[in-house]
Amino acid sequence: MKKLKGPKRSLDEIEEIVILPAYGRKYSSFIDIKEDWESGKDFTIDMITPFVKTGTYINKADVLRYSPQATVRVLYFGNTGVLYDGGKHEHN
């Protein structure tokens, strides 16, 4: 994961990461997204709270390494789904 733009904050302060499919991938279901997330495919960061929009690529390993406390949400076809909720438990 590249350096984040925005206010200087520690990565352990990140509360939520909102991601989008990367490289033009399109999904018809949350199950397909979850499979790619679990397999380590890249997604694009749309927004990090309390940071600003970044456009940086990210995957599950990056989240677990740098911000395991953050909730990860994915946006797709006007919907949102939680892929990871800060280590509380993973959603299926």
**Can you name the residues that pair with 20 across neighbouring β-strands?**
44
* pLDDT for the residue 73: 92
Domains of the chain, by residue range, sit at 13-85
Task: Give the pLDDT of the chain (92 residues) as one tens digit per residue.
Answer: 555 554 445 667 788 889 999 999 999 899 999 999 999 999 999 887 656 567 789 999 999 998 899 999 998 877 888 998 886 655 44
pLDDT of 92 reads 46
Would you state the torsion angle of the CA atoms of residues 41, 2, 10, 89, taken in this order, to the nearest 10 degrees?
Answer: 0
User: For the CA atoms of 29, 31, 35, 37, what is the dihedral angle to 10 degrees?
Assistant: 70
